[in-house]
Every structure is written in C-alpha cells, then in structure tokens.
C-alpha cells in the first residue's frame, strides 16, 4: 500500500453524504475491492485474511486454527470491514527515514487520527527528547540501553505499565510479570476505559466477569437484547447471527438513544437472501435518554413483575434476596421511571411483553451501558432482568458483554490488572519462588492523575493510544508531558505519539500478529482461546513484542530475579508459565503442539450454579439516577464511527450516520431550531472540562431531542474525569454540553 497522502492533509471532505438505509450490503463489498486494490489485489488480501491468525480487530473472534474468516461455529466466510481495515493497515508500506526530519512534532500534532494511521508502518525505533522539534531515528541497541538505564534509575512505584487489548496473551503475561518483579503493581489495560464495568458488575452478580454464553447459544436464542451498542459498526459479524435469528422468526430488541442504521436493517454480504432483500434487525427499537438505562431496566423488571411473568422458582432457588429485590422494584414509582428513563409506558410494556413471551434470551451490551458513573449498576440491572426469567445459567440464554479489542479479555485473564487475583498471586509466588509486590496498584486514570501530580516518572505502553483514549484530553496531555520517560510499542503512529510527550519518548516498532515468528494466543469475548500461527514479516526493523519485553527485562532484572528472561523470548515457555498459574488456562501449554484451541473452563454457565460466595445469583437494588441537562444543556455521548475501531480512524466518513467528516455535532432538528442554529453552522461546543471551536452542526433525526453525539476520541476534550466508583471507568456518555455561536 503506497502511503496515503501522509501530510496531515486528510482527504478533502466529500459532499454531504446520503445516509445509508441499511448496513453492510454492496457498499461493504465495493469497499472490500477498494481495500484490496490498496494492498496489491484481491488475492493478496484474501491470502492475508485466510492465514491461521485470530482477527486483529474485535473480540467476537474469527480465525486461528480454523483458518482466517472462520467463526467459532465454523461459519465461513466471516469477514468484515473492520477486519480488512486492520489488515490493510498492517500491509502499509514503511514510514521512510526522511519522514522524521520532514515532519516536526508540531506538525504531527496537527495530523488527525486518520492521517497518523495512514503514515505507514513503523520500522525503526525513534527518540524524542525535550526541546527537540523532531523525533530522530535511533538503533535498537541505543533504544534498549536508554530504556534499561532509565528503569534501573527509578523507584519502581514511580512507573506505570499500560496494555492494549490487541497484544497477545504471551506479551501481556510477560510484561505484567516483568513489571511486578521490577517492583510495581501499576499495571492496567485499556478495558478500564471500556468494559471494566462489565467485569465488576458481572462478578458482583454471577461471580464471573465475562460472557456466560458461547456463540452457539446466541445462534439459538429467540430474543436478543442489544443495549447501548452499535455492532453493525464495531462488531459487524454479530449481524450474521442476528440475521439468522430474524430469519428464523426470532426477535431483536434494541435499546439505544440513537436509531442506528445497521440495527434497523442490515444486508449480510455472505447471506444471499439478506444481501438481496435486506434483513429487518430490530423488531422493537426503544430510545431512552442518555443515562436513562438504569431506570428503563428497572421499569422492565417492574412490568414483568406486574405481569407475573417472572420465574419465581428460579429466583427463590438460585438467587439471593429475591423477595427484598422484588419489594424494591415494586416500591419504585412509574413516574420516577418515566422521568429518569425518558421512555414511555407503552414502550416499556412492549419490551416486557416480548421478554415475557421469549423462551431463550441473550442480553448483550457495549459501552452505552458501561460508560456511565453508574455503569456497574447498569450491568447489575441487566443481570437482575436475566435472573428474573431464569435467562442465565442454561444453554441458549445468558449475558454477553460485547467486548472491544480482539484480546482485551485475554490480557485481563493473564494478569494485566493492578491487583492480581489471589490464585494467580499465590501460584506465581509458589511456582517460581518469587516475592511479588503487595503495594496497591493504580488503574488507568489513577496513573494519569499520579503523573499529573508528578508521583510517577515513567510509563511503558504495550500498544494502544493511552493519550487518545483518555477523558479530558488537555489534562491527559499535561499529565503525560510531566513524565521523564515514556516508551511505546506500536505498529503505526497515533495521536499519543504527538501529544503529551514526556521529556524522553521512545517509539519501538513491533510486528503485527500475523508477522510474529512464533505462535501466540488470544481469548475471544466467548472465552475461546485461539492459536495464531504468526507469519512472515512484512518489513525489516520491527521486532516481536515478547522479544523486546524479554530483552529489556533481562537488562533490568537479570541479576535480581530467578526468571530466565532470555528463554522467555520463546512464547512456548511463556505458555508453560501461563498454564501453571492462570485458572482455566491449563490446556494452553500444549496448544502449539496439538493445534487444539479450547473453551476456558468455568466461564460458560449452562447450569444455574454461580461462582459467587453463596453459589447463587446476587440481585442488586439501585437508586435511580436523574437525567441530567435540559434547557440549553444537552446530554452528549461520545461514539465510534463506522470508519474507526476504538481510537484508530481508518476512514473519516461515517457512512451509517451519513457524515462526511468528524468535526461535527449531531443534533435533533428540534434542538437546532430551539437553539436558533442552522445546518453546517460552525459553533463552539463547551463542557465543564473543555471546549471545541469550529464544530459543524448536523441535523440528525435519529437521536432524541435533548441528546447529542460527537466522535471519540476527538471529543474527549469535553469529557470530565468523572468515573464509576466501582470500575474506575470514565463516563464518556452523558457529558453535559452547551453550544456557543460566538
């Protein structure tokens, strides 16, 4: 792929786009051929996508030993725009040497996320030193030596270690082990900014923090709730399953403040009937106000109770405190529920009637549920609803947090959290005769705040875009710039490489998953562990993540720990360690020999016994939060467009919302009229935390009046550092904004 115009001049905004009537379809097929042309042809792209590697994008899970484009029930061809965008990005040409003397830091700061992603592949280590205008290429030896010297000079608890969910289990396990033996628990991952509330909420309800179902269960459901998410954009192959359910006469209830194109109608390219005639996805679409989910979920439970449609036997036999919980929801008034959800009685009734009539129900959700100060409570309320009709703890029914990055669940499983699970802690100490630190580790935002207070001196980022994913971007840049040193292991450039640079910033180029010289493993959102074979490198220069981590660890810790770090460059050795210390991962030790991928034990719940202290489900009572805003204050939700995956922007257009650019605020026409604004008018959007000038007003009937949406990560500048007290996940949804025309 020749580099896109890597001059910060993002492609000129195309004329206002016609919004699509359905998701997927011929436009997705045309896009595939366009991308294939970019990377050297259809056959080249097809071969790359068919290798035995797990898909690099979302955690729905494709590929591995079944071959690329094969899902967990053997479905083929299962591929989507997100998958081929990530592949095409890795198939880019190398960033040329002269790039670093051509584009200054100041210029890189002006590049958009799209521009930076399309500059090409990183192939040589580069160094930024405070006062310099440019990054300068350095060789690996100097890079490793600088990092080793820096780490040896610092008190370990003045460092932090951030992991992206794209890294392998092996790299994740090895780096967290290195950080702890170095002497700190400031170890965290990107899920703190997305699904941590799911992990905390589910654990408090069912005793386990991940999905209770496998893909096969979802395929056999007759009703699926899709709450606070837009899978057609972010997990497109889930639409295959929803289409199967619809084609079998099943139901899909969507709860979302925005009417999302692909959730109304989707054309699955690999399903002829769906491709030609489209598939009506949502049989019921209900729009709460942003922040109204908890009240709505409580209202549905209250209506089910009024209908007597609950499974009282299940509640009494398999759940704690069901009577107290029922008494609580009976005590909540309907007027409170309407006022705090923004949803009418008739819509709540419609949901409850369909739920009461269904036999096998799966509840799925994403960040529309977790990105709130009451995110954990939202997840608990979903679990409450599932308990109410015995829709958890059996086949074809259950709970499904739709996770983000392809291995975000895996790195959590292998110990990338501030506090190790007791079992892992004990096994690591006993198995290897180690003494692990017991200091309290910081979560992701905790590290940002400690850096701001100069309590931290250095950071180490395994992939990801820490700066970009943070709320309050101005604060985040200031925090990171107060560090003495930051190390990034990356494949392409992102905004974090230009903003908030520490006194010394080093970018180390790493290999992509399908370029690894050794096999690696990943865990899907369905608790399925895949083996990725790796493959031939595309460029000289980048190194494998485990090789880099082991080399630095050897330099820093060789004479202080019992670990043979050099041997840990072998991913097989790392898997031996994972098998010994990570619960449920026993089979990983032989996976590269047997090529047999496996379902993690104890995660999929097909029996109503829950790994909670009592062995029973836990029902939670909640006080309902009031809806915020009103008047000229709007409730903002930051969202991903169809053209991006998390902070990575592959296309500036959002074809499903009809947007040709990203510097826009989408408002209901009534709000535009009420606020005296006009289409495409440039305004300044303000919040208690920041402001964004030059934003274009865009009419968008699909969102409820009083609510608005803008694109993440650019609009993070408006997002305060308010977090859910239990999960420490920032509230990227429900931010109060006003619009100034000055």
Residues lying near ligand SF4 in the complex (CB under 6 A) are found at: 55, 57-58, 60-62, 78-80, 82-83, 235-237
Toward ligand SF4, which CB reaches closer, 24 or 61? 61
**Assign residue 67 a region: left if phi > 0, alpha if psi is -120 to 50, beta otherwise?**
left
127 or 402: CB nearest ligand SF4: 402
Comparing CB distances to ligand SF4, the nearer of 82 and 374 is 82
Query: Residues with Cβ < 8 Å from 430, sequence gap 6 or more?
Result: none
What's the DSSP call for residue 41? -
Nearer to ligand SF4, 78 or 217 (CB): 78
Would you report the helix, strand and coil content of the chain in percent, each value rounded to 5?
A: 40, 20, 45
Which of 28, 466 has the CB closer to ligand SF4? 28
Alpha carbon distance 619, 321 (integer Å): 7
Residue 225 is given by DSSP the state E
Edge to edge, what strands does the sheet with 187-189 contain? 136-137, 126-129, 504-509, 485-490, 458-462, 159-163, 187-189
Minimum Å gap between C-beta 234 and ligand SF4 is 8
Integer Cα distance of 300 and 475 in angstroms: 40
Least Å distance, CB 584 to ligand SF4, is: 21
Shortest Cβ distance from residue 654 to ligand SF4 (Å)?
A: 17
β 598-599/528-532 pair status: antiparallel
Handedness of CA 507, 512, 513, 516 (dihedral sign): negative
E-state strands within 383-430: 398-401
Shortest Cβ distance from residue 340 to ligand SF4 (Å)? Answer: 34
Q: How far is CA 555 from CA 160, 476, 508, 563, in A?
A: 18, 30, 16, 12
The smaller minimum CB distance to ligand SF4, of residues 123 and 413, is found at: 413
Minimum distance from residue 530 beta carbon to ligand SF4 (Å): 10
Q: How far is the CB of 24 from ligand SF4 (least distance, A)?
A: 11
- Looking at the Cβ atoms of 62 and 392, the one nearer to ligand SF4 is 62
The nearer residue to ligand SF4, 79 or 326, going by C-beta atoms, is 79
C-beta closer to ligand SF4: residue 534 or 734: 534
CB of 235 to ligand SF4, least distance (A): 5
H helices present in 414-569, as ranges: 422-432, 444-452, 466-469, 473-481, 545-557
The least distance separating ligand SF4 from the CB of residue 87, rounded to whole angstroms, comes to 10
Smallest distance from ligand SF4 to CB 85, Å: 9
Is residue 597 within 8 Å of residue 529, measured between CB atoms? Answer: yes
Q: Could you tell me the maximum CA-CA distance found in the chain, to the nearest angstrom?
A: 71
Nearer to ligand SF4 by Cβ, of 78 and 653: the residue is: 78
Pair of tokens at residue 465: 């875009």
Instruction: Tell which phi-psi region holds residue 464, choosing left (phi > 0), alpha (psi between -120 and 50) or beta.
Output: left
Residue 565 — φ and ψ, nearest 5°?
-60, -35
Taking the least distance from each CB to ligand SF4, the nearer of 236 and 410 is: 236
Entry field: residues in the chain: 742
Give the CA dihedral 43, 45, 47, 53, nearest 10 degrees.
-170
Nearer to ligand SF4, 77 or 572 (CB): 77
- 601 Cβ neighbours under 8 A, 6+ residues apart: 584, 586
**Shortest gap between Cβ of 263 and ligand SF4 (angstroms)?**
15
Cα–Cα distance, 390 to 276 (Å, whole number) = 38
Run of H or E residues at 740: strand 733-740
Q: How far apart are CA 248 and CA 74, in angstroms?
A: 19
Cα dihedral sign for 651, 655, 659, 665?
negative
Q: Which is nearer to ligand SF4, 32 or 298 (CB)?
A: 32
- Cβ contact 444:193 at 8 Å: yes
Contact 473, 732 (CB under 8 A): no
Q: Whole-number minimum distance, CB 412 to ligand SF4, in Å? A: 18
* Closest CB to ligand SF4 among residues 237, 603: 237
Cβ(385)–Cβ(305) below 8 Å: no
Q: Dig out the tokens for 497 from the structure.
A: 């490489």
The minimum distance between CB 653 and ligand SF4, in angstroms, equals 18
Q: How far is the CB of 82 from ligand SF4 (least distance, A)?
A: 4
223's enclosing H/E stretch is strand 223-227
- In whole angstroms, the minimum distance from the beta carbon of 643 to ligand SF4 comes to 14
């Amino acid at each position: 792929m020749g580099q896109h115009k890597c001059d910060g001049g993002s492609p000129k905004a195309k004329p206002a786009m016609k919004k699509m009537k359905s998701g997927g379809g011929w436009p997705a097929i045309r896009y595939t051929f366009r991308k294939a042309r970019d990377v050297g042809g259809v056959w080249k792209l097809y071969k790359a996508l068919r290798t035995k590697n797990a898909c690099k994008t979302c955690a729905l899970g494709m590929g591995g030993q079944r071959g690329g484009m094969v899902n967990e029930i053997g479905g083929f061809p299962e591929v989507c725009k997100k998958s081929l965008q990530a592949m095409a990005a890795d198939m880019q040409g190398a960033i040329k040497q002269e790039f670093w003397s051509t584009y200054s830091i100041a210029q890189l700061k002006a590049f958009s996320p799209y521009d930076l992603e399309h500059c090409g592949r990183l192939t040589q280590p580069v160094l930024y030193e405070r006062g310099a205008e440019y990054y300068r290429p350095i060789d690996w030896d100097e890079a490793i030596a600088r990092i080793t010297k820096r780490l040896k000079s610092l008190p370990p608890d003045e460092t932090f270690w951030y992991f992206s969910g794209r890294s392998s289990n092996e790299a994740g396990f090895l780096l967290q082990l290195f950080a702890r033996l170095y002497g700190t628990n400031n170890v965290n991952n990107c899920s703190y900014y997305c699904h941590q509330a799911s992990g905390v909420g589910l654990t408090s309800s069912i005793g386990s923090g991940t999905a209770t179902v496998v893909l096969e269960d979802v395929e056999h459901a007759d009703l699926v709730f899709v709450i606070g998410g837009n899978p057609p954009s972010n997990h497109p192959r889930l639409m295959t399953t929803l289409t199967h359910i619809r084609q079998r006469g099943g139901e899909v209830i969507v709860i979302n403040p925005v009417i999302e194109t692909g959730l109304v109608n989707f054309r699955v390219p690999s399903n002829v009937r769906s491709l030609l005639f489209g598939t009506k996805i949502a049989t019921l679409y209900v729009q709460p106000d942003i922040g109204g989910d908890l009240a709505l979920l409580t209202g549905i439970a209250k209506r089910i109770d009024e209908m007597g449609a609950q499974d009282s036997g299940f509640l009494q036999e398999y759940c704690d405190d069901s009577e107290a919980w029922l008494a609580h929801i009976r005590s909540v008034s309907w007027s409170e529920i309407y006022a705090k959800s923004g949803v009418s009685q008739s819509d709540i009734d419609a949901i409850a009637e369909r739920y009461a009539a269904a036999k096998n129900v799966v509840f799925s959700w994403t960040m529309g549920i977790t990105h709130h100060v009451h995110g954990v409570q939202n997840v608990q309320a979903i679990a409450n609803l599932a308990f109410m009709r015995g829709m958890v703890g059996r086949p074809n029914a259950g709970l499904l947090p739709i996770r983000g990055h392809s291995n975000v669940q895996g790195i959590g499983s292998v110990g990338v959290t501030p506090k190790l699970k007791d079992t892992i802690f004990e096994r690591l100490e006993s198995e290897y005769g180690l003494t692990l630190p017991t200091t309290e580790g910081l979560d992701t935002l905790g590290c940002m705040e400690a850096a701001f207070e100069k309590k931290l001196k250095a950071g180490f980022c395994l992939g990801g875009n820490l700066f970009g994913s943070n709320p309050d971007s101005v604060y985040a840049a200031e925090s990171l710039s107060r560090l003495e040193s930051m190390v990034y292991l990356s494949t392409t450039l992102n905004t974090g490489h230009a903003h908030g640079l520490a006194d010394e910033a080093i970018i180390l180029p790493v290999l992509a998953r399908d370029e690894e010289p050794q096999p690696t493993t990943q865990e899907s959102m369905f608790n399925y562990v895949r083996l990725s074979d790796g493959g031939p490198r595309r460029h000289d220069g980048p190194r494998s993540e485990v090789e880099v981590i082991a080399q630095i660890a050897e330099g820093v810790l060789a004479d202080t720990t019992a670990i043979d770090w050099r041997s840990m460059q072998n991913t097989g050795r790392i898997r031996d360690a994972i098998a010994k210390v990570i619960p449920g991962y026993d089979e990983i030790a032989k996976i590269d020999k047997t090529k047999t991928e496996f379902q993690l034990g104890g995660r999929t719940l097909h029996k109503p016994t829950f790994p909670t202290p009592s062995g029973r489900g836990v029902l939670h009572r909640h006080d309902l939060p009031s809806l915020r805003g009103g008047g000229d204050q709007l409730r903002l939700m930051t969202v991903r467009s169809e053209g991006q995956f998390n902070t990575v922007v592959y296309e500036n257009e959002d074809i499903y919302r009809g947007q040709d650019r990203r510097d826009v605020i989408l408002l209901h026409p009534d709000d535009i009229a009420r606020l005296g604004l006009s289409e495409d008018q440039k305004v300044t959007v303000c919040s208690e935390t920041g402001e964004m000038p030059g934003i274009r007003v865009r009419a968008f009937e699909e969102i409820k009046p009083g609510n608005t949406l803008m694109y993440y990560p650019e609009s993070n500048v408006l997002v305060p550092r308010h977090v859910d007290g239990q999960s420490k996940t920032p509230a990227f949804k429900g931010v109060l904004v006003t619009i100034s025309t000055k």
